[in-house]
Amino acid sequence: MNIAVCVKRIPKTAEADIFIEKDATDIKKDHLVFTLNDWDGYAVREAARLKEEYGVHGDSLHRWAGRV
């Protein structure tokens, strides 16, 4: 069995100052701290558990700030 876990990083915005880009299409990301969202973290841990328990092959697919 093969498992693929798709994950996306998200900015921690709770305590951050958010600034809008000049073209008003996005937020400025250069000063933000990024992390996995909670649900993606659960999926990665579950895939690791399945890999250990059943010996399945697992990969994660990442999308980091416009890069695949």
What's the pTM value of the predicted model, to 2 decimals? 0.61
Token representation of residue 42? 């659960």
The C-alpha angle 37, 41, 45, rounded to 5 degrees, equals 175
**The pLDDT value given to residue 65:** 46
Rounded Cα distance, 18 and 37, in Å: 18
- Per-residue pLDDT reduced to its tens digit, 15-65: 888 888 899 888 888 888 888 888 988 988 888 888 888 887 666 555 554
Rounded Cα distance, 16 and 57, in Å: 38
Please name which of 62, 18, 17 lies closest in space to residue 37, comparing C-alpha atoms.
62
Please name which of 52, 32, 44, 51 lies closest in space to residue 8, comparing C-alpha atoms.
44
